Amino acid sequence: MTPKKILIVEDEPAMVRLLRDNFVYEGYEVVVATDGEAALHLAFEQKPHLILLDIMLPKLDGLSVCRRLRERHLDTPILMLTARNLEQDKVTGLRIGADDYLTKPFSVAELLARTEAVLRRTGQTRIETYRFGDIVVNFSSFEATKAGQPIDLSPREYEILRYLIEHRGQVISRTEMLDRIWGYDSQALTRTVDSHIANLRQKIEDVPAQPAYIQTVHRIGYKFTG
Q: What is the pLDDT of residue 124?
A: 54
Q: What is the pLDDT of residue 215?
A: 95
Q: What is the pLDDT of residue 168?
A: 87
Q: What is the pLDDT of residue 191?
A: 84
Q: What is the pLDDT of residue 214?
A: 97
Based on the fold, state whether residues 95 and 133 are members of the same structural domain. Answer: no
Q: What is the pLDDT of residue 186?
A: 47
Query: How many structural domains is the chain composed of?
Result: 2
Q: What is the domain-level CATH number for residue 11?
A: 3.40.50.2300
Based on the fold, state whether residues 139 and 109 are members of the same structural domain. Answer: no
- Residue 88 · residue 44 · CB < 8 Å: no
Q: Which of 87, 121, 155 is the last residue of a domain?
A: 121
Among 110, 209, 93, 211, smallest CA distance to 161 is for 211
Based on the fold, state whether residues 133 and 106 are members of the same structural domain. Answer: no
**Is the pTM of the predicted complex or chain greater than 0.85?**
no
- Flag residues of the chain having pLDDT under 50: 185-188
The three-class DSSP label of residue 202 is helix
Q: For residues 49 and 70, what is the distance between their CA atoms, to the nearest angstrom?
A: 15
- CA torsion angle for 149, 153, 155, 160 (degrees, to 10)? -110
